[in-house]
Structure 1
């Protein structure tokens, strides 16, 4: 598909209904139950009971209108009538390579962070001097 010598518009024009059905089936197969639930929750909002969820397991909820509009404008800038599909994919790949990751940690930094978190979780136990039996009995009756 990427090795096609056709331009992007010509490639899209060459897709048959059968190809479109296979592509749609493949795309639908990649949709998870969680994605569908998030879609309904986003569309109907307060009309549906909100599920309890762990924020760390949150799926992508979609783009805002502003993000979508900005992406469409950037796409129009990159869409050239004579651009081959391979060149188009390479442009997007190069753009992704230019993006800095949010943060990259070395193994040492990860280990240090885990050790520090474990140390913060451990509460120091107060040290109490041991009493002799006679002192304990005296303190008990006094």
Structure 2
């Protein structure tokens, strides 16, 4: 009888310990996820501020391509679906800049449209 009671108590303690370990593991995972999201959002905020240098159209196109690729890489890095979509949309918007669209009128219109993508990205990061 004592052996059974001891076995039951040991089993209960082990089960409680495993449950506590699972809770710690879940909390750690949630904290890591939040840190990753914050890190991605900080990088995304820097990239979202991209504005082409109109005095050098050739370099502006290269910079837009690199920025779009960097935004897409961030999208692939995150597990948050809303953030991933917002990053992909911002990448697409920056990627729209090409050799034929680096003039003041086109870039002004592009910048107005980019505000919507930037707002969506900001909301995804909150």
Larger Rg: 1
Decide: shared fold, TM above 0.5.
no
**Going by fraction, where is helix more abundant, 1 or 2?**
2
TM-score (norm 2): 0.23
